[in-house]
């Protein structure tokens, strides 16, 4: 019988296939692999969304009935979905499939970790009392849209450094990537996208914390690192708009910022705190 875990496992390989084709299209400068990669990515997004909705329906069958955003497995599924969706949308908007070359592998890694890692359980579980709130959807969705924006900015930042900073002639592999000014603009836009959603996520999280634990802020490790991440990107945007920074400097900060995102997402799960359920 088909279930969400099976669907999402299949989508993992679809994302992996798409990522390989994107990289192949970049290396061998062929349009056909890039087009197949795009269609595969779109098929993956559809399957990812179907698996997400199916898991939601399955939760009602277990008698729990909640949106699947309550544990590490479910958050990784949603994270992969948002990364793939944003990267595809940008590629279509700029009519350049190569934009997804460094972003689609991130969607594959996220879903592969969820589907294949023995340390991540795909078991549907009831919500703990703190998660039984209408703020769950708003808080988690906005935070992960922010994370997906930062992940896309990370991929584009890596692409910018490859495009502009590697020694050698500006030909071959380098010339097949979008122009530097396009990538520079995309880093700015995707970081702004992520920053706005992370801001909303932090605010809704504070309101949720007050209703669940009676305090807006408790300096829990996840809260603290979310704030650190917010400041990293706030400083980046300040340097961009007030000091005129761009190019390689901003690309490097986007990479550093994503490292903070990853620690906020994964690293704090190994620390005791109110968000310890995130490691389930």
pLDDT recorded at residue 273: 55
Which residues, at least 6 apart from 17, have a Cβ–Cβ distance to it below 8 Å? 40
Residue 253 has what DSSP assignment?
Answer: H
Backbone angles phi, psi at 111, to 5 degrees: -75, -35
Q: How far, in Å, CA of 274 to CA of 186, rounded? A: 35
Q: Tell me the CA distances in angstroms from 273 to 223, 224, 279, one per residue in order.
A: 10, 11, 11
Q: How far, in Å, CA of 149 to CA of 195, rounded? A: 8
pLDDT recorded at residue 82: 96
10 Å CB burial of residue 224 (0-12, 13-18, 19+) is: middle
Q: How far, in Å, CA of 190 to CA of 208, rounded? A: 27
pTM score of the predicted model: 0.90
Residue at token pair 């399955």: 58
Q: What is the mean pLDDT of each run of 10 residues along the chain (280 residues)?
A: 89 96 85 90 97 93 84 93 94 86 92 86 80 82 95 94 69 70 93 96 89 78 90 95 90 95 82 51
pLDDT recorded at residue 195: 97
b/e sequence 108-144, b meaning 16+ C-beta within 10 Å? bbbbbbbbeeeebebebbebeeebeeebbebbbbbbb
């Amino acid at each position: 019988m088909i279930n969400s875990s099976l669907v999402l496992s299949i989508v993992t390989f679809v994302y992996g296939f798409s990522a390989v084709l994107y990289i192949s299209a970049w290396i061998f400068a062929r349009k056909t692999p890039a087009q197949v990669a795009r269609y595969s990515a779109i098929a993956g997004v559809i399957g990812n969304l179907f698996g997400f909705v199916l898991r939601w329906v399955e939760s009602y069958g277990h008698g729990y009935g909640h949106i699947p955003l309550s544990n590490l497995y479910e958050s990784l599924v949603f994270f992969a979905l948002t990364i793939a969706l944003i990267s595809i949308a940008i590629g279509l908007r700029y009519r350049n499939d190569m934009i997804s070359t460094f972003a689609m592998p991130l969607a594959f890694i996220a879903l592969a970790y969820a589907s294949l890692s023995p340390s991540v359980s795909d078991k549907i579980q009831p919500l703990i009392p703190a998660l039984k709130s209408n703020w769950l959807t708003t808080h988690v969705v906005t935070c992960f849209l922010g994370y997906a924006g930062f992940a896309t900015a990370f991929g584009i930042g890596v692409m910018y450094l490859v495009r502009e900073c590697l020694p050698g002639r500006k030909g071959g592999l380098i010339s097949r990537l979008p122009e530097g000014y396009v990538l520079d603009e995309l880093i700015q836009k995707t970081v702004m996208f992520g920053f706005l959603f992370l801001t909303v996520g932090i605010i809704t999280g504070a309101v949720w914390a007050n209703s669940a634990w009676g305090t807006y802020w408790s300096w829990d490790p996840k809260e603290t690192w979310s704030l650190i991440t917010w400041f990293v990107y706030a400083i980046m945007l300040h340097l961009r708009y007030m000091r005129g920074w761009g190019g390689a400097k901003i690309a490097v900060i986007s990479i550093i910022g994503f490292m903070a995102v990853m620690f906020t997402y994964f690293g704090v799960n190994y620390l005791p705190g109110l968000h310890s359920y995130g490691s389930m």
